[in-house]
Structure formats: C-alpha cells, structure tokens
Homo-oligomer: A and B are copies of this chain.
Amino acid sequence: MSWNTFGRVLRMTTFGESHGPAIGAVVDGCPPGIPLSEEDIQPYLDRRRPGQSRFVTQRREPDHVRILSGVFEDEHTGGKRTTGTPIMLMIENVDQRSKDYSEIARKYRPGHADFTYQAKYGLRDYRGGGRASARETAARVAAGAVARRIIPQVSIRGALVQLGEKRIDRRRWRWEAVHDNPFFCPDPEVVAEWEEYLDAIRKDGNSIGAVVEVVASGVPAGWGAPVYAKLDQDIAAALMSIPAVKGVEIGDGFAMAAMTGEQAADEIVMRNGKPHFLANHSGGILGGISSGQDIVARMVVKPTSSILKPRRTITTDGEETDVITRGRHDPCVGIRAVPVAEAMLALVLADHYLLHRAQTGQG
C-alpha cells in the first residue's frame, strides 16, 4: 500500500484534485472476463452525486465516468468484458466555478486540512481543498462498482443511522426505505423529523455529524486473515480513509466495552444442517476472518468544517483572524458518505476474496 493506493491484490490508485481537469482511479488486479461497462458504474456515482437535494452541496457535477482501459469488446462474443489489465476510470471536473480563492489561500480554515497540508508540503492547492476535497471519493465509488462485479454473490448496502443527535429506531429498519429519502435513512418514520432538523442547521449556516452503517450479506466463512490482514483491520482502514471519518466500529463495537463474555459470545447451533449463530455481536468477523454472518460496520462522520459561522484562525503569515467558508457545502457530509462507505467495503471484500483464493484455492 502506498500513499494513494488502496488494497492488497485488488488495488485502487486514485488521482485528482477538486479543481483540476479530472479525477479518477486505476483499478488493478481485477479478474478477467467480467462484463463491465460504464452503465454498471454510473448508477453508483449518481447516488453520490452533488446537487440532488437541498441537504447536499449544490455544486453541479454530472460525474460522468469513462472507462479508458482494461475492458475489451470482442466482436465475436459481444459486450465489454474486463481483460485483467488496469481499469482506468476517469471523471472530468465540470463545475470548477471561477472564484476568488485569495482568502482561502491566506487563511487556514479550522477543521480542514489547510494547516496540516501546508505544514507537510510547504505549499497546497487551496482551490476547493485540492486533493483533500471529498471530490476524490467519486473515484472510490466508481472503483467500488467494479469491486461489486467481482463478488456478485455479496450484497453491500449502507444507511445513515444517526444524524446529529437523532438516531433511527432499528426495529423499523427497512432497506427499501433507504432509496426513498434524501438521507439514505432506513427508518422511514424519522425522515420528516430529520428534514426539519437539518433544515434548521443548514439555514443557520451550521453543519452536523452523522453515523453511517454498512452491511455486507453473502460473505462466506473464511475471508480475511489473522494478525495484519484482518478483515476488520482492512475495513477500519478503508472507512477511516474517507474524509471526515473519525471512528469505526465492527458489530456491537464500542458497546462491547460494557458487555460480559457471557453476553458477547455469539452462540452456535445447527439449523438446517448448517452452523447457525444465535447473535451477531461480532459483526460477522472473528479473529479477523469472516464467520458467514452479515459483516456489519459503522463509521462516524464529523460535521462539515465549511460553515458560515465565523471561527477564529490564523493566516499563513501567522496573524490572528476570523474565517467563514462561503460556497456550496453539505450541511451533513455524512449523507453522501453512505455510497462511499459501501464502495470501500466492496473494495475490501473483493480484495479479500482474491487473497483467500490465492492462499487456499477456495472461491
């Protein structure tokens, strides 16, 4: 793994800045012969795309993906299929609104990477956050769509389970509901309340945090590896690499601090001739390896740092000042993080599918 590459044998390398000509990903290690065209990828990008509701940034990006390499349409068989060579996915930046960046260039926005990038590199592309922009996550979503094709037997879904102080009622969880509201919320009964809540925050020029949950169904027992290639380790790395994520948990996560060993044990019985777990506190992973149960992970996304409230900061010359961040920002960046989290989970699982096949020949 290197600075801008994620994965072990299935590897995604992304490039691009918020206000450069394009962003994209090179996906390497994909098995050959998998049907793949832009139409398989675009729907996932459309879910992450800006401008779809008043609760997300109004930047207008079509996020149209092009596959520049790694697929081939054989005239005899028809239909594009992967060739086993690197798949280049490119997304052109369209709405790089011409703007005066002189203030951002001169002031470090609190909560952003401005100060730390400058400290590290001695310079930074300050236009729209440059490489630190959440725009990079579009490339992840495109690559994640490829990963899904590698493991079609696995279903990967995400949802927003907490918006600020508001949590869903898990007993009302309905996956279908996720598509029917602007929050990817699986509890349809809280949607109206969330809209009102987030509208108030948005109108106040403020922002709010959130918790995203992703679930993978259909992963057989045996994926992952002990010690330093644990499935949960890689999921933690994958989710923590998403901008603004400050915590990750698997299964019951932090709630397990207060549980006893008796409570936390996922007892096993036989059902229909197969091992069956009576609970899934472990989130589908034991000792770093999948158990055959649903893989369950959650991540917390901090509130958007770009707000209209003035905050104290300093200039690049070391003078104290105030800053507010005008522009087109998500009042809750956690919402659009849902398809990104799904993509990262898909990439980890497809990678471990291939790793498991490498070592054991299974799959």
Contact = CB atoms under 8 A, between A and B. Distances in A.
Interface in A28-45: 28-33
Given A108-B268, A226-B131, A236-B237, A9 B359 contact: yes
Given A121-B33, A227-B241, A236-B248, A116 B259 contact: no
A227 B257 contact: no
Listed residue (A226, A292, A306) with the most chain B CB atoms within 10 angstroms of its CB: A226
A300 B210 contact: no
A314 to B, nearest CB: 5
Given A269-B314, A270-B314, A116 B246 contact: no
A192 interface: no
A335 to B, nearest CB: 13
Contacts of A230: 240-241
B123 A314 contact: no
Interface string A300-314: 111111110101111
Q: How many copies does the complex hold?
A: 4
A76 B124 CA distance: 12
A4 interface: yes
A229 interface: yes
Nearest to A322: B267
Contact of A9 (B9, B243, B252): B9
B250 A120 contact: no
A250 B246 contact: yes
Which range holds the interface residue count of chain A? 35 or more
Interface string A102-118: 00010010111101110
Contact of A33 (B20, B122, B307): B122
B17 A115 contact: no
Most chain B beta-carbon neighbours within 10 Å: one of A28, A70, A247, A309: A247
A68 B22 contact: yes
A131 B29 CA distance: 14
A259 B312 contact: no
Contacts of A1: 1, 8, 228-229
Nearest to A108: B268
Given A20-B69, A261-B305, A292-B119, A26 B4 contact: yes
15 contacts: A1-B8, A4-B228, A4-B229, A14-B86, A15-B85, A22-B68, A111-B266, A117-B287, A119-B291, A201-B260, A206-B261, A257-B301, A257-B334, A270-B319, A357-B358
